[in-house]
Amino acid sequence: MPSGLALNQELLLVLGLLCCAVVMFARNKPRMDVVALLMMVALPLTGVISPTEALMGLSDPNIVLIAALFVIGEGLVRTGVAQQLGDWLTRRAGASETRLLVLLMMIVAGVGAFMSSTGVVAIFIPIVLRIARQADIPAARLMMPLSVAALISGMMTLVATAPNLVIQAELVRRGHDGFGFFSFTPFGVPILVLALVYMVVVRRFLGRDDAGVVSARPLWSDWVRQYGLAGRDRRLLVTPESLLPGETLESLNLRGSMGINILAIERPRRFGYDLIEARGRTRLKAGDVLLIDIRNPDFDMDAFCQAHRIQDMPLSGVYFRDRFQEMGMAEVLVSPNARMIGKTLLDLRFRSVFDVTVVGLRHGKQPVSGSVVEESLQAGDTLLVVGTWRAIRRLAQNRRDLIVLDLPAESDDVAPARRNGPFALFTLLLVIAMMVTGVVSNVQAALIGCLLLGWFKCIDMPAAYRSIHWQSLVLIVGMLPFSLALQRTGGIDLAAQGLLAALDGVGPQGVLAAVFATTAVLGLFISNTATAVLMTPVALAIAQVLNASPYPFAMTVALASSAAFMTPVSSPVNTLVVGPGNYRFMDFVIFGVPLTVLVMGLTVFLVPRLLPF
């Protein structure tokens, strides 16, 4: 054991490094993950911890848990579950951003009450990004409310966050009964209401730097307008009495004889339908729904339906926009060296070769009116094509003749494994159940979930690796060694002794406020779990000195441990939203400190009334 002087010198070194890290975080130079790497290198040089201990975060189960939950979140995105939840939230919120924010925070807090708050954020980040894109609002206005709600979810139930379990274990170890599963709920619900009101008020100041930024990506509706596609879309049902079942598209030649482009075919199956590529050899069946584009404005649809005994079906969305999960759209450029220059689409048998249909053509910036199939192609022409996403991806590989210029913004929301959505939802519920019941550890539950998603083909390995936000993980790993360094140098013990001395003669409610404030300040530098480990014995010792019940003091530590709103490194929950929300270090200070003070005031008011001294 080093001498007291050496110990003080080591503590000063650790505190100096901690101050340097905070200053660099506040200036946002260099990047936060680079600062974390610098600290991992510098801390062993002080002699307080070894290089192996500086890297201990890499083996921390919580880091593996966060990475696994990123993968689970991506599985929900790829199967469309996240999209459906986002669509539900958007529908329920309507045009009201306030309603959207309130619903989002309530759902996140509710889900987080039964599973890891970090996991909830990892799962909801892609959902919130999609909602922000759909509602045309900056992601920063929703990302901080997301992290706040996830932190408050830790105040809802006993299993919602690790600090609650740490405090429960300490109470039981000292011979007390401990808390019940829902003992935290009467405190968490009022604090959530307070946070909802606060975030509704301050949300307009979030994301002010990018509030006017508009995505450069075109929307599906933009191309419908530019190429004059509105009103050309139809859905036709092939009835059992129709003359079409058994015929191939090539033998019908609807495009050549009547100017009808069959874009795709909806073929029913037991649950839902399959979208079939419209190829010449495709043979029609009774029950098929034809998605068609009619270029001829004089076409008599009623006469066509009667002649072929087919039924005109209702449409929803603008030019099959409601089918964008299966059917795509792209702008492609005719290459200067293309072999198709000077030829028409009919000459090229374009659809038969590329499995997509040209629905629009521009020479330069001028769209071609009338039929495009007999128009000679020129170098630099822009074609608007429609087909399945599989066909469009194949088209992108043909770089000699055609260059894919752009895809609609909606392409970001395409769920490639949409059919496996029920399996992804089952996996998520199973993971939550395993976490709630504790049959296996949280990290094992998450890893089992990842394996099941792979087994059910909800996600593949390349997508799984891409889904992990490595910058956030490096930041968390780099800051974990400070907890050990502060404990080893006596910094935490020094703070606890100072608190006991300062509280001499202060009333019980004043003591609660001091315990909350100390816990919250410690949480600025070490994890909330480590804070609970260090502060719970101090709080229970204070209760014993005051001859008071231990429960209000233990509950205050629990609530303060979850109130980690003040910096992006106070909790992994905050760290995860820094990148997606494009936040600076000071954004959390500016908005988090007032919220922490408000939560402290509500805690000091509620705790003595619900848990008397």
Task: Identify whether residues 190 and 330 lie together within a single domain.
Answer: no
Q: Are 145 and 101 in contact (CB under 8 A)?
A: yes
Residues 309 and 365 in one domain: yes
Contact criterion met (CB below 8 Å) for 469 and 143:
no
Average pLDDT over residues 574-579: 78
In the predicted model, is pLDDT for residue 202 greater than 80?
Answer: yes
Instruction: Residue 505: name the closest of 492, 514, 496 by CA.
Output: 514
**What integer pLDDT is reported at residue 149 of this predicted model?**
93
Same domain? 256 vs 383: yes
* Cα separation, 17 vs 39, whole angstroms: 7
Name 114's Cβ contacts closer than 8 Å, sequence gap at least 6: 157, 159, 160, 432, 435, 436
Residues in the chain: 613
Residue indicated by tokens 């004889």: 257
β-strand partners of 261: 293
| 252 falls within a domain | yes
- Among 2, 1, 45, 55, residue whose Cα is nearest residue 20: 45
What is the reported pLDDT for 213? Answer: 39
| % of the chain with per-residue pLDDT over 70 | 88
Task: Write down which residue in 385, 407, 429 finishes a domain.
Answer: 407
Mean pLDDT of 481-490: 76
Tokens linked to 518: 């100390």
Q: Which domain holds residue 230?
A: 218-407
Interval 171-199 mean pLDDT: 87
Residue of higher predicted confidence among 270 and 454: 454
* Same domain, yes or no: 222 and 370: yes
What is the Cα–Cα distance from 489 to 411, expressed in whole angstroms?
A: 53
pLDDT of 188: 92
CA distance 329 to 217: 13
Confidence of residue 613 (pLDDT cuts 50, 70, 90): confident
Pick the last residue of a domain from 356, 376, 407.
Answer: 407
The torsion angle over the Cα atoms of residues 81, 85, 90 and 93, rounded to 10 degrees, is 180
Where does the pLDDT of residue 559 fall: very low under 50, low under 70, confident under 90, or very high at 90 and above? very high
Say if residue 163 is preceded by a cis peptide, omega within 30 of 0.
no
The number of distinct structural domains making up the chain is: 2
How large is the average pLDDT for residues 75-93? 75
SS3 91: helix
Distance between CA atoms of 581 and 561, rounded to whole angstroms? 23
Which DSSP letter does residue 314 get?
P
Per-residue confidence (pLDDT) for residue 396, from 0 to 100: 75
Compute the distance between CA of residue 99 and CA of residue 96 in angstroms, rounded to an integer: 5
Q: Is residue 135 part of a domain?
A: yes
Which letter does DSSP use for residue 239 in this model?
A: -
Do 73 and 168 share a domain, yes or no?
Answer: yes
pLDDT in tens, 243-262: 888 888 888 877 767 778 88
Residue 108 lies in a domain: yes
| Mean pLDDT along residues 190-211 | 81
Statement: residue 4 has pLDDT above 50: no
In terms of domains, do 224 and 373 share one? yes
CATH code: domain of residue 362: 3.30.70.1450
Look at strands 289-294 and 366-367 and give their pairing: unpaired
Tell me: pLDDT of 429 over 80.
yes
**Which pLDDT band, with edges at 50, 70 and 90, does 174 fall under?**
confident
Q: Are both 95 and 242 inside the same structural domain?
A: no
Residue 25: CB atoms within 10 A of its CB come to 22
Collapsing DSSP to helix, strand or coil, 409 comes out as helix
More confident residue, 494 or 360: 360
User: Which pLDDT value is given to residue 483?
Assistant: 66
Q: Domain for residue 536, yes or no?
A: no
CB atoms within 10 A of CB 239: 17
Residue 188 located in a structural domain:
yes
Burial letters 564-600, b for 16+ CB under 10 A, else e: bbbbbbbbbbbbbbbbbbbbbbebbbebbeebbbbbb
439 and 341 in a single domain? The answer is no
* 600 against 329, higher pLDDT: 600
Instruction: Report the pLDDT value the prediction gives residue 173, as an integer from 0 to 100.
Output: 75
pLDDT of residue 269: 77
Cα distances (Å, whole numbers) of residue 173 to 409, 536, 548: 56, 12, 18
For 28-82, what is each residue's pLDDT tens digit? 678 777 888 888 898 899 888 888 888 887 877 767 877 887 788 778 777 877 6
- Pair 301, 438 in one domain: no
Residues 317 and 225 in one domain: yes
Per-residue tokens: 302:
């009623």
Q: Using CA atoms in the order 446, 448, 452, 458, what is the torsion angle rounded to 10 degrees?
A: 20
Average pLDDT of span 226-253 = 84
Mean pLDDT for 368-394 is 81
pLDDT at 216 (0 to 100): 55
376 and 300 in a single domain? The answer is yes
In a domain? residue 227: yes
Strand partners, 404: 332
Task: Give me the residues paired with residue 292 across strands.
Answer: 234, 262
Mean pLDDT of 551-563: 91
Phi-psi region of 319 (alpha: psi -120 to 50; beta: other; left: phi over 0): left
pLDDT at 541: 78
Dump pLDDT digits (tens) for 432-470: 788 777 788 778 888 999 999 999 988 888 888 887 877
Residue 397 has pLDDT above 80, yes or no: no
Q: What is the pLDDT of residues 503-553, one digit of tens each?
A: 666 677 888 888 899 888 877 766 676 677 677 777 887 787 778 888 999
The one-letter code for the residue type at 466 is: R
What pLDDT was estimated at residue 500? 65
Label residue 597 by pLDDT band (50, 70, 90).
very high
Please tell me whether residues 364 and 395 are part of one structural domain: yes
Of 452, 469, 486, the residue at which a domain comes to its end is 469
Q: State the maximum Cα–Cα separation within the chain, in Å, rounded to a whole number.
A: 100
